[in-house]
Structure 1
Amino acid sequence: MKILSIDTSNYVLGIGLLDDNVVMGEYISNLKKNHSVRVMPAIQSLMEECSVAPGDLTKIVVAKGPGSYTGVRIGVTIAKTLAWTLNIPIAGVSSLEVLAASAGRYFDGFISPLFDARRGQIYTGLYQFKDGSIRKVIEDQLVMASDWALRLNEMQADVLFAGNDLGIHQQAITEALGARAKFTGPTGNNPRPGELAVLGSQREAEPVHEFVPNYIRLAEAEAKWIEAQNKK
């Protein structure tokens, strides 16, 4: 069973190939560059390097958000196109869950992955590993970083925070949780496409034409358009 995983939901571009329980290869970059022109060459390069032909693939797994509206849309669109063209299943995994699994597999406590959402807000959720499998403790959501930190402080437990946007919100988190706030190093802040493939291998396939991303909130332009329509 060969699985191709795709993550363009944030600045990190991740492509992975999983063959049963073996991660054959991963491509990861963390650059502020256009995913739309880089993702297909990255897929092609990794598949050629691993000697995997399109017809060998048995499933497509994609990080379905939250994150950058444009980034999520690019990854989901490409994943759906490949799944439909190759007539193979598609499955989606929360972009936050991928980050949590990548950073905290061996952490004995709660894991809070986060992406900056501007104006003091973050996309986040709470996860924990139990018996080797990751489980969701609190649903993914859009929340003020300060409010989230205060909520976690009430749990009186160690929390590992992960993500490339930690620097923006680390002060508010530390002020609320003190020593119970733990932070990943640089290598723990990038979601791993191999981890995405592993998580996706265990998910039920979704009908390709019904598969939708999870933005959590509307893009700003779309929200303004709806607001304007409601005022008419």
Structure 2
Amino acid sequence: MKVLAIDTSNYVLGVAVLDGDQVIGEYITNLKKNHSVRAMPAIDALLKDCDVKPKDISKIVVAKGPGSYTGVRIGVTLAKTLAWTLNIPIVGISSLEVLAASTGRYFQGVVSPLFDARRGQIYTGLYQYKRGLIETVKNDQLIQSQDWAHQLVSLESPILFVGNDLSIHRSIIEPILKEKFIFAEITEHNPRPSELALLGRDREGEEVHSFVPNYIRLAEAEAKWLEENKN
């Protein structure tokens, strides 16, 4: 089975091809550039380099959010279009779970992946590997970084924080958690599309037309419209 994974949910653009138990190709950039322009050429180039034709793909796995509203929408739209065109299953994986899985497999504790959500807020959750499988300890959520750190103080296990936006919130998290936390190295902050492919490889596919992203919160324009028209 050949699996194509797509992640455009944040600045990182990642695509990968998994063939059974082997990663045969992977492409990652961490640039503030337009994913809508770059994603499809990246997929096309990777498939050509791996000598894989679209008809060879058995499943599409996509990072379904949370993250950048526009980024999530681009990845999900692209994945749904490919899945529908090729008549193959689509699987959505939490963007935070992908980031946690990329670093936490051999960490003896819990992993808190995070993306900045502005105004002191973060998208985050809590994950842990048990018996070789990643499990959700706390569901993905939108929360103030300070409130999140206070929630984690009572945990007995060490906490690994990972994500390219850690530097924005480090000064808030560090004084609260003190010696209980570990920050991942800079080489570990990019979610791996090959990890995304592996997470989705054995999960059941979803119906392509009803598949939706997980933004967690409304886009700012939508929230403003609802507030103005709440009656």
Give the structure-2-normalised TM-score.
0.99
- Which one-letter code corresponds to 1:127 in the other structure? Y
**1:216 is matched with which residue?**
216
The CA deviation string for residues 94-121 of structure 1, in whole angstroms up to 9 with x for no partner, is: 0000000002111110000000000110
Mapped pair 1:35 → 2:28: no
Structure 1 residue 180 displacement after superposition? 1.1
SS of match in other structure, 1:230: coil
- Which one-letter code corresponds to 1:68 in the other structure? S
Question: What is the CA–CA distance in structure 1 between the aligned matches of 2:10 and 2:202, rounded to whole Å?
Answer: 23
The CA deviation string for residues 19-52 of structure 1, in whole angstroms up to 9 with x for no partner, is: 0111111000000000000000000000000000
Structure 1 residue 192 displacement after superposition? 0.1
**1:130 is matched with which residue?**
130
**2:162 is matched with which residue?**
162
Structure 1 residue 156 displacement after superposition? 2.8
Calculate the aligned-residue CA RMSD, in Å.
0.6
Question: What is the CA–CA distance in structure 1 between the aligned matches of 2:14 and 2:100, rounded to whole Å?
Answer: 15
Mapped pair 1:117 → 2:123: no
- Which one-letter code corresponds to 1:220 in the other structure? E
Structure 1 residue 227 displacement after superposition? 1.1
Mapped pair 1:80 → 2:80: yes
Question: What is the CA–CA distance in structure 1 between the aligned matches of 2:18 and 2:52, rounded to whole Å?
Answer: 11
The CA deviation string for residues 148-184 of structure 1, in whole angstroms up to 9 with x for no partner, is: 0011011132100000000011111111111111010
SS of match in other structure, 1:142: strand
**1:207 is matched with which residue?**
207
Structure 1 residue 202 displacement after superposition? 2.1
**2:3 is matched with which residue?**
3
Question: What is the CA–CA distance in structure 1 between the aligned matches of 2:213 and 2:41, rounded to whole Å?
Answer: 23
**Deviation beyond 4 Å, 4+ runs, structure 1:** none
Give structure 2 stretches of 5+ with no counterpart: none
Question: What is the CA–CA distance in structure 2 between the aligned matches of 1:103 and 1:39, rounded to whole Å?
Answer: 24
SS of match in other structure, 1:200: helix
SS of match in other structure, 2:88: coil
**1:69 is matched with which residue?**
69
Question: What is the CA–CA distance in structure 1 between the aligned matches of 2:103 and 2:120, rounded to whole Å?
Answer: 23
Question: What is the CA–CA distance in structure 2 between the aligned matches of 1:103 and 1:228, rounded to whole Å?
Answer: 43
